[in-house]
Chains A and B, each alone.
Chain A
Amino acid sequence: MMRLPKFEYHTPQTIAEAVKIMAGAGPAGQFVAGGTDLYPNMKRRQQMPKTVISVMRLAELNQITGDGRNGLRIGASVILTDVCEHPIINRDYPVVAKAARTISTPILRNMGTIGGNLLLDTRCNYYDQNYEWRKGINFCLKKDGDVCWVAPGSSKCWAVQSSDLVPVMVAIGAKLRFVSTLGERVIDAAGLYNDDGIDYLHKRPDELLVDIQLPPTNGWRASYQKLRRRGAFDFPVLGVATWIATDNSDVKDARIVLGGIAPSPVQITEAASALIGKPLTDDQIIAAAEAAYIKARPLDNTDFVYQWRKQMARQYTLRALRDLQS
């Protein structure tokens, strides 16, 4: 079996206690929820926190409150299975439940949390490998090395944002609440992600994600389409989240967000412009899909041939927007 490095483990019962332990631990500290992302990374020696602080006993992080009329708060430690099955999420935010149901497998969803999913490490075929394998290629920029094997001339890491919920949260305009010993802040989901595979979050490591706030549901519809090799297990290698607000029959506002192709979710503003101010007709959809295709620039660091993934940006945007037509 692959072995975990040694670490100290804490299970605080309150947010105040959690952020205090974190402040004390400094850069060697890291929060853990379900551990489905963190522990494999530790086994592969990609992340090596000395102090690991569980967020699973924090009551406030385990709740779902509100509804579509007033907006919904989902605690960061809510497991993905509960997101999939929650009656109000299914009734009022079906796109969130649907995207969550495409995540990996039922077993993973029983462990993994929504918070962990939104903070998921970026992924790359040259990075998500054990230490010995990475030694074979003399490591890479993201960890222990100095070259990016995907784009050897680049000084940036292109590891991929690989959560299904991230593009959805960005598209529907969710907000995220963080707490640290320095206080609290609430930001737009879109503002959290940074287009850099190493430094992929606009967030300090000591900030605790407390909850995800979904906006009231009046006047908009959203959809999500995911590309992956198999019907389970697989991370998205392209995810298309679409959101439109309508005014009578015209599209008033729109957001098309692609996940799984770059270090951060990619908003295709050209695709949104193609839709805004007109009814959602086939022609508008084709124009938006074309814009998504042009802007999608995946690299060769996930499953599938990357040129084909780029072509699929058109097909999957078409599908996602057609889901909104009915």
Chain B
Amino acid sequence: MIRFYHVYQSYQKDVFALSDISFTINPGEFIFLTGPSGAGKTTLLKLIIREEVPKKGQILVNGQNVSSIPVSKIPRLRRSIGVVFQDFKLIRSKTVFENVTFVLKTLGIDLKERRRRAHNVLKMVGLQHKTHFYPLELSGGEQQRVAVARAIVNDPVLLLADEPTGNLDPDRAADIMALFEKINRKGTTVLVATHDRDMIQRMRKRVISLTAGRLDHDSGSQVQVEES
């Protein structure tokens, strides 16, 4: 599903946010990406959705080389990936419903169907009663859950979540992780970046850990599927 091959990324000359990263994630896996803040977790996720282009190395996502795909193919790539951004990235001038269903609207899905799907995912994150609120009328934790709802509304093949429980109390956090597991069981590959050690220990999943831009530990794949 995802393969990094000697990937380097830097923002300033000779200061590498990521250096020599190689790993393979098989379809259907559930992985934690961990490491102290500043380790390069967000940067790694940005490379996967081609928000950034690596300085060196190759990245394959769902069979496509994202470091060299044409710009015109980027939207389709991103639509196949659900992302919970660390800073949520909700559109302030749109309601929760509009935020969650924006991409569905561009795909020509009619209002009735959009309502149905939005209702489903908002219920999963416990926000069905805030459908017509604007992001700024919600708490940080609620905004984060809207971001989760938006990430899963289009049944992505890959779900990326950047500190998705950072603003949630432990019970809510556990709910969201349970939701991710459920989605994972339905076949979606899930990659969660977090520095929450307790959660990682509780969940017993594959862990890839970064330190200062280097991959220092990979607990190894538990799902054995060959990627063609």
A and B bound? no
Give A residues with C-beta under 8 Å from B: none
